[in-house]
Amino acid sequence: MPDNEKIRAHPHLNRVFGKLLHDPNLLHLNRRSVSGAFFVGLFMAFVPLPSQMIMAAGVAIWLRVNLPISVGLVWVSNPITMPALFYFAYKVGAWTLNTPLTEWNFELSWEWLSTELAPKWEPFLLGCLICGVAAGAIGFLLMRLVWRIYIGNQWIARKKRSCSKNDQS
């Protein structure tokens, strides 16, 4: 985990977030902080903007969840996976709005943005929202479940150790 003091001393972060940077949950690993970070990171992975990591960091600080996990999970949508994730989001949005699917011939240009994306932006953004909430919720619940199983196993192991010590006495 990053050093608390380096993050707190960062002039830009300190100016924007101030005292919120002093929350220990930003860097600690606990059930609330980690599961919340999974929601934030996976939700932000479906935000179709180039500043996903910055937004994930801001939301993580604001919600007081683990900052490195939130920012790291944004990389679920990377240059390799992004086309498939965003096309899937478009299909979900089109299905939700009951609009027909159309071909995507991606070309990064103003002409493409104005002619190709214009009729598709509503299903695309709705699909991104639905997929982001679903991925975040699944990640949140899955981490809660994993954490509960881990703690349960720790208690069972502790009880076994305690019983074996009592048997030896």
Mind listing the pLDDT tens digit for each residue in 106-157? 665 677 667 777 778 889 899 999 999 999 999 999 999 999 999 989 898 8
1 pLDDT higher than 60 = no
Q: How far apart are CA 61 and CA 23, in angstroms?
A: 8
**Residue written as token pair 């954490």:** 147
Q: Closest Cα partner for 90 from 103, 108, 80, 79?
A: 103
Residue predicted with more confidence, 38 or 54: 38
Q: How many domains does the chain have?
A: 1
Could you tell me what percent of the chain has a pLDDT over 90?
41
Q: Please tell me the predicted confidence (pLDDT) of residue 161.
A: 81
pLDDT value of residue 88 = 93
- The model scores a pTM over 0.85: no
* Parent domain of 127: 4-168
Tokens 């990591």, located at residue: 53
**At 167, is the pLDDT very low, low, confident or very high (cuts 50, 70, 90)?**
low
